[in-house]
Amino acid sequence: MNKTSASPSDSTITQVLGACPHDCPDTCSMLTTVVGGIAIKVQGNPAHPHTDGALCTKVSRYTERSYHPERLLHPLKRVGPKGAGQFERVSWEVALHDIATRLKTIASRGPDAAQAILPYSYAGTMGLVQGDSMSARFFHQLGASLLDRTICSTAGGEGLTQTLGGKVGMRVEFFAEAKLILIWGSNSITSNLHFWRYAQVAKRNGAKLVCIDPRRSETADKCHEHLALLPGTDGALALALMHELITNDWLDHDYLAQYTLGWEGLRSRALQWSPERAALVCGLLPEQIRALAQDYGACAASRAPAAIRMNYGLQRVHGGGNAVRLIASLPALIGSWRQRAGGVLLSSSGQFPVQRAALQRPDLLAGQTPRTLNMSTIGDDLLRPASAEFGPAIEALIVYNSNPVAIAPDSAKVVQGFAREDLFTVVLEHFQTDTADYADYLLPATTQLEHWDVHSSYGHTDALLNRPAITPLGEAKPNTQIFRELAAHMGFTDHCFADDDQALCRLAYGEAVDFDVLLDKGFATLDLAPAPFAHGNFPTPSGKCEFFSARLAAQGLDGLPDHVPNHEAFNSSPLYPLAMISPPARNFLNSSFVNVKSLRELEGEPLLEMHATDAAARGLQSGDGVRVFNQRGVYRCKVEISKRARPGVVNGLGVWWRKLGLDGTNVNQVTSQKLTDLGRGPTFYDCLVQVEADAL
């Protein structure tokens, strides 16, 4: 195998080691086959144990995405009205000069004036270098507003950190040895396929698999049991499980005494949650809760390893942070952390020794303390005038690695904000997305086949390297290079703006990961204890699993976890009687890949899954056009009467490009900007709607 990058003149066949850049726990090791400078195929690296030679359907189409006829290949300048998506080609020199001039004008108005400039980015690429390195340096030097990157995982991340001390947990490979696996708020077959492989091994070895999810997902179909609870009621379920563990004495008293903090408080709280009480809240039967407690409790007595795979699906509701605290507490009750195949995994990202300060250089702020804006409320914030409390109105927005017009909640507001005539918007993209339509300047970025990067993962514990397989298409440039050149146009002279991408790749882990191993194999496994919390050693302030969090109590919050009901709780509105969740569609990745024709054809068209009873009450048949609406807006799509929907809950599969939907909207037209209990995250799955036949 030739591990080096291919040159276009090379007509021999080469294979280049890379990493899948997408926002998914699996972070696969990829092999790209290049012939004569053209990437003809991507496949999973068979030498990487977690990838095991297999990629998902979407990323198997990565060459189709990279060579897509609609790839942006040149800088573009807006010529039509905002949002019309009409552009003319300009040179890089003109684009960068103009952008720098606009930003300098804003920043030169006064000491904190640069705060009117906001970067907006997320995990279009999860790469540590193309994600946020040179870009962060640029915005720090400028003194722009900081962005709180909350759109996905901060409620759960905060819940996990308060309880376990960080984004830490079980190693994914040891799920293969578990005897009971709870798959909680995760459609693993869709969104975490390489975990599912380990779960399958466990299943073949006699493990019981239980899925806890309002939707009868593809994963639920393949588990032994499925508990279809109402969205946002996971905290109540976890408390009732604790109730049963306590009343039946299925507890590891020794583990509780030695390695936990706040047990007495949690115990008395859990005792208030009988299965009967929780069943009413969760929309389940008390017997279902008792049976699950029995399965979990049996592992306490037999020392059979019980493992929980949580995913972020369950924390996109008001009480998401508390629900994660409660679920993350469960393993300590039965002492399942004692075994390497026991415990819980939500995210493994906290285990990576990423040298973020070296990459992002917050020291360039040089004493400035710009405000922080929350990406989940971009709709409201773009419409906010200057005020003493808010600071300056947002005048310039620079978007990279994200498609906010499609993926941020309460889209009507987001669109109104992006449509502001006085807003200067720059978008770095591969494609003309919904967001790109609103750009004043649209800049072509390279894909993973065309640039260097280094990766961590939130689903396994291997660091990865991505080498460029081909030269950039057209005039596309890596994000890093765009910000490097923009820095030069701004007159930024710090020598950190001269670091090239390979230097940044080396900085990402510094000495903590052997870069030569990454260069050689494409991945390096972190050296971690197999059962990290067998004897406590949690990275919390007390070193214990913290049921009680002094840090939260000090903020005036509840020190103990509790069930926190949805903002828009089921049965609380006669006008909007259905709870809507909008989980990922299997063949899209958030809004990425929606424009890849072969994948869009697999998904068909925007769909709302509905239970037969709810459909009958509305006189709806599969295939009918419907209006899904609430106080925030109307979204049109097709309804499908489906066993995947439980009564009272509809599933609006996401996240379509608005312009490829039925009427130029998508499911976020009805989601809200209300935030979670912890972590200031969005509440996409905490959303009441009504559905009716579409008169159109």
Bridge partner list, 693: 626
Question: Which residues are within 8 A (CB) of 76 and not within 5 positions of it... i.e. 6 or more apart?
Answer: 87, 88, 89, 90, 439, 441, 442, 443
Choose the contact partner of 684 out of Mo ion, ligand MGD, none; CB within 5 to 8 A by kind. ligand MGD
Q: Which residue number, 223 or 256, has a Cβ lying nearer to ligand MGD? A: 223
CA 665/CA 658 separation, integer angstroms: 4
From the list 96-104, 140-148, 281-289, 396-404, the region that binds ligand MGD by CB under 6 A is 396-404
Site for ligand MGD in 54-113 (CB under 6 A): none
Candidates 161, 479, 480, 672; binder of ligand MGD (CB under 6 A) is 479
Task: Give min distance, CB of 56 to Mo ion, in A.
Answer: 15
CA 310/CA 324 separation, integer angstroms: 8
Contact between 237 and 278 under an 8 Å Cβ cutoff? The reply is: yes
Residue 506 parent element (H or E): helix 501-509
567 binds ligand MGD, rule: CB under 6 A: no
Task: Give min distance, CB of 15 to ligand MGD, in A.
Answer: 22
Candidates 100, 152, 228, 317; binder of Mo ion (CB under 5 A) is 152
**Sign of the CA dihedral 109, 140, 466, 495?**
positive
Task: Give min distance, CB of 579 to ligand MGD, in A.
Answer: 9
Residue 246 parent element (H or E): helix 234-247
Q: Which two tokens stand for residue 664?
A: 């130029």
Question: Which residues are within 8 A (CB) of 192 and not within 5 positions of it... i.e. 6 or more apart?
Answer: 24, 25, 26, 186, 309, 311, 459
Q: State the Cα torsion 196-200-206-208 to the nearest 10°.
A: 30
Q: Which residue number, 122 or 533, has a Cβ lying nearer to ligand MGD? A: 122
Task: Give min distance, CB of 686 to ligand MGD, in A.
Answer: 8
Output the DSSP codes for 81-102.
STTS--EEE--HHHHHHHHHHH
Q: Which two tokens stand for residue 309?
A: 């795979």
Task: Give min distance, CB of 217 to ligand MGD, in A.
Answer: 4
Q: Which residue number, 234 or 562, has a Cβ lying nearer to Mo ion? A: 234
Task: Give min distance, CB of 680 to ligand MGD, in A.
Answer: 14
214 binds ligand MGD, rule: CB under 6 A: yes
Q: Which two tokens stand for residue 166?
A: 């960080």
352 binds ligand MGD, rule: CB under 6 A: no
679 binds ligand MGD, rule: CB under 6 A: no
Choose the contact partner of 122 out of ligand MGD, Mo ion, none; CB within 5 to 8 A by kind. ligand MGD
Site for ligand MGD in 412-471 (CB under 6 A): 428-431, 433, 445
Task: Give min distance, CB of 374 to Mo ion, in A.
Answer: 16
Angle at 324 between CA 250 and CA 292, to 5 degrees: 35
Contact characters 407-446, Mo ion, x per CB under 5 A: ----------------------------------------
Nearest 5°: phi and psi at 690?
Answer: -120, 155
Q: Which residue number, 251 or 691, has a Cβ lying nearer to ligand MGD? A: 691
CA 289/CA 304 separation, integer angstroms: 20
Contact between 82 and 445 under an 8 Å Cβ cutoff? The reply is: no
Residue nearest to Mo ion (CB): 152
Candidates 31, 151, 476, 599; binder of ligand MGD (CB under 6 A) is 151
405 binds Mo ion, rule: CB under 5 A: no
Q: Which residue number, 6 or 160, has a Cβ lying nearer to Mo ion? A: 160
Q: Which two tokens stand for residue 543?
A: 């070193």
CA 519/CA 3 separation, integer angstroms: 8
190 binds ligand MGD, rule: CB under 6 A: yes
583 binds ligand MGD, rule: CB under 6 A: yes
Residues forming the site for ligand MGD (CB under 6 A):
23-24, 122-125, 130, 151-153, 184-187, 190-191, 212-215, 217, 231-232, 234, 311-314, 317, 400-403, 407, 428-431, 433, 445, 479, 581-584, 586, 588-592, 654-655, 667-668, 671, 684-685
Residues forming the site for Mo ion (CB under 5 A):
152
